[in-house]
Amino acid sequence: MKNRGLHELYAENPELADELIWGREVETVSRRGFMKSGGLAAMAAVIGASIPFARYMPGGLIPAALAQSNEAFSIPGKSGLIILNDRPLNAETPAHLLDDPVTPASRVFVRNNGVPPSTWDIDPLDWRITVEGEACGQPKVMTLGEIQTRFKHHTLQLQIECGGNGRSEFNPPAKGNQWSTGAIACPEWTGVRLRDVLEDCGMTDDAVYVAYEAADSHLSGDPTKQPISRGVPVHKAVEDESLIVWAMNGEPLPELHGYPVRMLCAGWPASVSGKWLTHILLRDRVHDGEKMTGQSYRMPCEPVPPGAAVADENMCIIESMPVRSLITYPKSGIEVSLGKPLDLRGHAWAGDSLVKAMVTSIDFGASWQKAKLRKPVNRLAWQHWTTSVEFPEAGYYEIWARAEDDAGRSQPMVLPGWNPRGYLNNACHRIAVMVTA
Strand ranges in 102-250 using DSSP code E only, listed in sequence order: 110-111, 128-132, 140-143, 153-157, 160-161, 184-185, 188-193, 209-214, 231-233, 243-248
State yes or no: pLDDT of 287 exceeds 80: yes
d(CA 129, CA 1): 57
Residues in the chain: 437
State yes or no: pLDDT of 392 exceeds 90: yes
CATH of domain 324-436: 2.60.40.650
pLDDT at 155: 98
Instruction: Mention every residue, 6+ apart, whose C-beta is less than 8 A from residue 306.
Output: 171, 172, 418
The dihedral of CA 258, 259, 263, 267: what is its sign? positive
Chain segment 11-20, per-residue pLDDT in tens: 666 666 666 5
Residue ranges of the chain that CATH labels 3.90.420.10 = 103-317
3 state DSSP class of 250: coil
| Pairing relationship of beta strands 298-300 and 160-161 according to DSSP bridges | unpaired
Residue ranges of the chain that CATH labels 2.60.40.650 = 324-436
d(CA 123, CA 402): 46
State yes or no: pLDDT of 380 exceeds 50: yes
The dihedral of CA 358, 401, 347, 244: what is its sign? negative
Q: Name the helix (H) or strand (E) containing 360.
A: strand 355-361
Q: What is the mean pLDDT of residues 46-65?
A: 78
Q: Which fold has domain 103-317?
A: Sulfite Oxidase; Chain A, domain 2 (3.90.420)
Q: What is the mean pLDDT of residues 36-61?
A: 71
Chain segment 129-167, per-residue pLDDT in tens: 999 999 999 999 999 999 999 999 999 999 999 999 999
- Using 50, 70 and 90 to split pLDDT, how confident is the model at 3? very low
Q: Which pTM value belongs to this model?
A: 0.87
Q: Is 161 exposed, middle or buried (0-12, 13-18, 19+ CB in 10 A)?
A: buried
Residue of higher predicted confidence among 63 and 412: 412
pLDDT at 418: 93
The dihedral of CA 413, 416, 418, 424: what is its sign? negative
407-428 burial, b at 16+ Cβ within 10 Å, e below that, comes to: eeeebebbebebbbbbbbbbbb
